[in-house]
């Protein structure tokens, strides 16, 4: 059963068609992997789904609700969480305080928000770092903070923008393991990811974008053999 349905979504910035006629669905409990070259429109798609950017055309339905023109806070309240490509923790607050801010979306009581934040920090395997300032954390640890902050709203759907981007090779397997642990906990996930090996490993379905358009959508093995995807993305990665 689909939890998210995107129909004919479109957004232009001046002459740039950042998203054009994008349609797909995400099933309850699955991981949808989203790939595409730089500037393909991947982050814009997340901005449209979460209300950070207003769509020119199309419709987004989540859990039976038309959320197309709702504000980001309303969409968050409906239990869509997201992480950002550019990490934005409060650098001078501790890990615990950062995650508590997320937890206040659901909890009004300070102790309850603190307990919930600690539980999530434990889930992302950073409990020893709970009193460290965000600025003291490594990039990989800040990625975990970002995931913890997003988990604090108790999302049914979590949109992740390049979780493994910009971290060193040895940090990647732990982050992949965490994504799979989130899936196992029942969260439906859509993840933007440049690392093709990871996307093939973790995705139930893959959406490939190029120049704002949906060029392929299907199972990993079909996407891997899709000529348009190879031309637009896989080929270019190989050359790089």
Site of interaction with Mg ion (CB under 5 A): 42-43, 85
Least distance (Å) between residue 160 CB and Mg ion: 11
| Residue 36 near ligand ATP by CB under 6 A | yes
Per CB under 6 A, 51 contacts ligand ATP: no
Which of 32, 44, 140, 160 touches ligand ATP (CB under 6 A)? 44
* Shortest Cβ 42–ligand ATP spacing (Å): 3
Q: Which residue is nearest to Mg ion (CB)?
A: 43
Window contacting ligand ATP (CB under 6 A); options: 13-21, 72-80, 92-100, 230-238? 13-21
Q: Binding partner of residue 71 among ligand ATP, Mg ion, none, CB under 5 to 8 Å per kind?
A: none
Residue 141 contacts which entry, Mg ion, ligand ATP, none (Cβ below 5-8 A, type-dependent): none
Distance CA 113, CA 182 (A): 20
For ligand ATP, the closer CB: 79 or 223:
223
Q: Indicate whether 41 belongs to the interface with ligand ATP (CB under 6 A).
A: yes
């Amino acid at each position: 059963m689909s939890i998210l349905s995107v129909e004919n979504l479109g957004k232009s910035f001046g002459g740039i068609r950042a998203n054009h006629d994008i349609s797909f669905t995400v099933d309850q409990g699955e991981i949808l992997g989203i790939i595409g070259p730089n500037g393909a429109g991947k982050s814009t798609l997340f901005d449209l789904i979460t209300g950070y950017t207003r769509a020119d055309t199309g419709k987004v339905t989540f859990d039976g609700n038309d959320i197309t023109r709702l504000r980001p806070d309303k969409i968050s309240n409906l239990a869509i969480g997201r992480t950002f490509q550019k990490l934005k923790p409060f650098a001078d607050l501790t890990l615990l305080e950062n995650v508590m801010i997320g937890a206040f979306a659901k909890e009004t009581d300070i102790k309850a928000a603190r307990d919930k934040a600690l539980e999530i920090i434990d889930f992302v395997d950073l409990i020893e770092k709970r009193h460290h300032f965000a600025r003291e954390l490594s990039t990989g640890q800040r990625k975990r903070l970002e995931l913890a902050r997003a988990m604090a709203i108790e999302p049914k759907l979590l949109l992740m923008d390049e979780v493994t981007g910009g971290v060193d090779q040895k940090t990647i397997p732990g982050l992949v393991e965490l994504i799979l642990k989130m899936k196992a906990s029942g969260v439906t996930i859509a993840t933007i990811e440049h690392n093709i090996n990871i996307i093939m490993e973790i995705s139930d379905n893959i959406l490939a974008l190029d120049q704002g358009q949906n060029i392929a959508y299907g199972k990993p093995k079909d996407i891997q053999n899709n000529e348009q995807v190879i031309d637009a993305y896989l080929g270019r990665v190989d050359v790089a």
